[in-house]
Amino acid sequence: MQEGRIIKALSGFYYVKNNSGIHRCRGRGVFRIQDISPLVGDFVKFESETRDEGYILEVLERKNSLVRPPVANIDQVMIVNSAKEP
């Protein structure tokens, strides 16, 4: 079992980055039953034989999360606003 961080979520696939590269994974069906939604930024345990096929087995504990955009484990946030023409 490998550990990594979700860097992108697209159409039911989660792209997990670890030391060996980026792996395309799917979430397990048990996540829907337990009402767990993996977010970009989550640290996860996953199994992957190839880089194109894998499954996320466990979502590790989150440090924090934002609702919009849906991301987790954020260290720094910057708010950008126009002063002249918002």
Specify the pTM.
0.84
Q: Which of 15, 19, 4, 1 is nearest to 53 (CA)?
A: 15
Structure tokens at 27: 């979430």
Give the start-end residues of each E strand in 21-85. Answer: 21-27, 43-50, 53-59, 65-66, 71-72
For the domain made up of 2-72, give the CATH fold. OB fold (Dihydrolipoamide Acetyltransferase, E2P) (2.40.50)
Q: What is the model's pLDDT at position 71?
A: 93
- What is the rounded distance in angstroms from the CA atom of residue 17 to the CA atom of residue 40? 11
10-residue mean pLDDT profile of the chain (86 residues): values are: 92 91 89 88 90 89 91 90 83
Domain ranges of the chain: 2-72
